[in-house]
């Protein structure tokens, strides 16, 4: 059985990724923090399409909780390993840096950047031993061009892109690829509160993206066909750059 772990898999882009990877034959581990109802809906969607998965609750920003959850999973699945990791969990807490509270800085970086380390580091060794692994990090256009009011978010996603490039060089010889995806404005809970009508004017494609469009790229990068693509950050922004 091939397993794929998607952090923040209960809603939005994460849900679409879970459904896509399941359709490719992966048994999907749906990570969530507290919204079990939405995580179960994702699992129901997967099963309705003939796939299967399981739920795994932990906060990616909590190193001890993450390590314990992953270790418990390993013990319950002896002889198996997680071949695909999608570091999708993230959170926005926007404000101008002038007025940004410390908690908003550390929370955003903790989930996106520390979460990448907490999840990926314990899962690397089996990938290297099996000589196959796919690590896909969900960055953002904010990490590429910077967006006013998102200094914390831009910092976390920019750091994630840099980490992607560095790790890719460390593991490439063992058949493990590491790539990042930088979505622009995609119709999910993450864009709630933003002025869509005004933002659309800045997007050459003239619309927000859909989660399924991002999931399609994740599916390709997770496949055998993408074996020679690593250390890249691919933008899905409708031309916004």
Condensed to tens digits (0 to 9), the pLDDT of residues 85-118 reads: 999 999 988 889 999 999 999 999 999 999 999 9
Give the pLDDT confidence score for residue 191 in this predicted structure. 66
Q: What is the pLDDT of residue 56?
A: 97
pLDDT in tens, 122-141: 999 999 999 999 999 999 99
The counts of H helices and E strands in the chain are: 9, 7
The active-site residue out of 3, 26, 32, 153 is 153
The answer to whether the Cα torsion of 182, 187, 190, 196 is positive or negative is positive
Active-site residue 153, yes or no? Answer: yes
pLDDT of amino acid 125: 96
β 176-183/53-57 pair status? unpaired
Q: Which residues, in sequence order, are CB contacts of 226 under 8 Å at separation 6+?
A: 134, 177, 179, 220
Instruction: Report the pLDDT averaged over residues 8-32.
Output: 95
Map tokens 């061009």 to a residue: 145
pLDDT tens-digit series, residues 213-232: 999 999 999 999 999 999 99
Task: State the pTM of this model.
Answer: 0.93
pLDDT value for 194: 65
pLDDT at 185: 86
């Amino acid at each position: 059985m091939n397993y794929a772990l998607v952090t923040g898999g209960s809603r939005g882009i994460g849900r679409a990724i879970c459904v896509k990877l399941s359709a490719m034959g992966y048994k999907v581990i749906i990570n969530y923090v507290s919204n079990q109802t939405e995580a179960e809906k994702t699992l129901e969607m997967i099963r309705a399409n003939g796939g299967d998965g399981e739920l795994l609750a932990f906060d990616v920003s909590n190193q001890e909780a993450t390590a314990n959850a992953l270790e418990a999973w390993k013990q319950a699945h002896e002889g198996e390993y997680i071949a695909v990791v999608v570091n999708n969990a993230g959170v926005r807490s926007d404000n101008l840096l002038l007025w940004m509270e410390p908690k908003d800085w550390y929370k955003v970086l903790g989930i996106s950047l520390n979460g990448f380390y907490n999840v990926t580091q314990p899962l690397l060794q089996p990938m290297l031993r099996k000589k196959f692994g796919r690590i896909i990090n969900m960055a953002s256009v904010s990490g590429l061009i910077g967006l006013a009011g998102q200094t914390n978010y831009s910092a976390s996603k920019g750091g994630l892109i840099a980490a992607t490039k560095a790790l890719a060089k460390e593991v490439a010889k063992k058949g493990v690829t590491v790539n990042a995806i930088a979505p622009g404005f995609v119709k999910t809970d993450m864009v709630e509160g933003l002025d869509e009508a005004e933002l659309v004017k800045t997007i050459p494609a003239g619309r927000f993206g859909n989660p399924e469009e991002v999931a399609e790229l994740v599916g390709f990068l997770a496949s055998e066909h993408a074996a020679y693509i690593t250390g890249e950050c691919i933008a899905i922004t409708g031309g916004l750059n």
